[in-house]
């Protein structure tokens, strides 16, 4: 039997941030999740992230962990000319391109150090709430559980929230074709690049280990093209770009591994909380990379979800609704700004990807 004040479903950045904050507040925390075997996209931290890492007690460890600085964001959007947004005048300093696996391992270690109980495995199914307590019976995969609260940090699946009947509201559908490329020459760049193309837009960034991560954000229809999942098919799509292709060529970078598709829709839960539970990270809301929030949003919502639960446990009945209202406002602001950015790209008005976004 695991008895806890809070069960966290998901051991990614949002779940670990919640666990660290909750344990720091003196609550008993059990975290269910697995270390991700596959490489994941989501390796950029904005200049605001170090302040959040400071609150989690991992800033010094992070700075000594070999992550790369990100000094600027570049974009070829609305024209073929690259525009630059650098961080030289940002009082918070520069951002980072991180080793995602190393970053998540650091957060899990910090959660355990703070006192959270990490369980390598999937969260138990069938959690039911009775008399203000969540319970699940033991089975072959997990022990019996009893907890007052649940945090859903299960990612885009939002598995627990959906089990509670919550709907996921999709602002627009999208997929990302993800690949990694290894450079044969030293990478001398420290910026994130966004490049619009007829099919959507390319995202690329250097990551530790002499590699680039690449993702083409595009319509789900491309998901049905088997050739796109091959190095040749992805290479053909890259040939239609200019700056992204030249970036790889300049560093002698070649694709490694099989390209794969992941869901990249912009969406949020209709209500990211309920009696005795709250959602954080991608389970609560997901943004495009053009928002430049990424992992920073996961950390922030993880911390904020924990604070809301602590306040609720202390008798503040407004804490969870206030958290939900903040996320709804944030998503509405993001949606308006993202559509404004999409409207600013008018080179391919009849292309399905751009036509659908302009129509919104």
Cβ pair 283, 152 in contact under 8 A? yes
Separation CA 92–CA 89 (nearest Å): 9
Residue with token string 């591994």: 257
Q: If DSSP codes are grouped into helix, strand and coil, which group holds residue 72?
A: strand
Q: If DSSP codes are grouped into helix, strand and coil, which group holds residue 22?
A: helix
Closest C-alpha among 160, 112, 182, 161 to residue 269: 161
Note the pLDDT of residue 143. Answer: 80
How crowded is residue 86: how many other Cβ atoms within 10 Å of its Cβ?
A: 12
Note the pLDDT of residue 123. Answer: 79
Q: What is the pTM of this model?
A: 0.94
The DSSP string of 292-336 is S-THHHHHHHHHHHHHHHHHHHTT-TTHHHHHHHHHHHHHHHHHH
The DSSP string of 139-179 is -SSS--EEEEEEEE--GGG-HHHHHTTPPEEEEE--EEEEE
Separation CA 205–CA 181 (nearest Å): 10
The CA–CA distances, whole Å, from 175 to 113, 199, 288 equal 37, 11, 10
Residue 57 phi/psi, 5-degree rounding, is 80, 25
**CATH class held by domain 2-43+99-171+266-337:** alpha beta
Q: Tens place of pLDDT for every residue, the chain, 360 residues?
A: 889 999 999 999 999 999 999 999 999 999 999 876 556 676 788 888 889 999 999 999 999 999 999 999 999 999 999 999 988 888 888 999 999 999 999 999 999 999 999 998 887 778 999 999 999 887 777 788 999 999 999 999 999 999 999 999 999 999 999 999 999 999 999 999 999 999 999 999 999 999 999 999 998 877 667 778 888 899 999 999 999 999 999 999 999 988 999 999 999 999 999 999 999 999 999 998 877 677 899 999 999 999 999 999 999 999 999 999 999 999 999 999 999 999 999 999 999 999 999 998
Note the pLDDT of residue 223. Answer: 63
The CA–CA distances, whole Å, from 44 to 73, 100, 278, 293, 295 equal 11, 9, 25, 8, 7
Residue 94 phi/psi, 5-degree rounding, is -90, 170
Note the pLDDT of residue 147. Answer: 96
Q: If DSSP codes are grouped into helix, strand and coil, which group holds residue 357?
A: helix
Pairing of strands 191-197, 200-207: antiparallel
CA angle 107, 110, 116 (to 5 degrees): 105
Note the pLDDT of residue 90. Answer: 83
């Amino acid at each position: 039997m695991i008895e806890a004040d809070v069960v966290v479903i998901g051991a990614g950045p949002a779940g670990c941030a919640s666990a660290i904050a909750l344990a720091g507040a003196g609550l008993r925390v059990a975290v269910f999740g697995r270390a991700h075997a596959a490489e994941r996209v989501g390796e950029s931290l904005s200049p605001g992230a170090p302040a959040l890492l400071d609150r989690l007690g991992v800033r010094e460890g992070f700075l000594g962990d070999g992550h790369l600085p990100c000094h600027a964001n570049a974009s070829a959007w609305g024209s073929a000319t690259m525009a630059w947004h650098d961080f030289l005048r940002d009082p918070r300093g520069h951002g980072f391109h991180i080793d995602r696996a190393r970053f998540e391992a650091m957060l899990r270690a910090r959660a355990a150090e703070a006192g959270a109980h990490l369980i390598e495995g999937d969260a138990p199914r069938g959690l039911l709430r009775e008399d203000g307590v969540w319970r699940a019976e033991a089975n072959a995969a997990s022990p019996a559980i009893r907890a007052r609260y649940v945090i859903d940090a299960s990612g885009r699946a939002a598995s627990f929230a959906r089990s509670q009947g919550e709907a996921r509201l999709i602002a627009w559908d999208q997929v990302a074709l993800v690949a990694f490329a290894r450079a044969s020459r030293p990478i001398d760049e420290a910026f994130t690049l966004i490049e619009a193309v007829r099919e959507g837009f390319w995202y690329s960034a250097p990551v530790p280990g002499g590699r680039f991560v690449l993702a083409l954000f595009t319509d789900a229809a491309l998901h049905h093209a088997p050739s796109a999942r091959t190095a040749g098919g992805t290479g053909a799509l890259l040939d239609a770009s200019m700056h992204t292709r030249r970036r790889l060529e300049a560093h002698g970078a070649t694709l490694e591994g099989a390209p794969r598709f992941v869901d990249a829709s912009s969406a949020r839960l209709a209500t990211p909380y309920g009696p005795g539970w709250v959602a954080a990270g991608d389970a609560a809301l997901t943004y495009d990379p053009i928002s430049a929030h990424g992992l920073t949003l996961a950390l922030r919502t993880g911390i904020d979800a924990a604070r809301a639960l602590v306040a609720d446990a202390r008798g503040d009945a407004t804490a969870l609704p206030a958290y939900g209202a903040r996320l709804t406002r944030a998503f509405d602001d993001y949606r308006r700004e993202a559509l404004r950015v999409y409207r600013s790209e008018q080179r391919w008005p009849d292309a399905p990807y751009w036509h659908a976004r302009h129509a919104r």
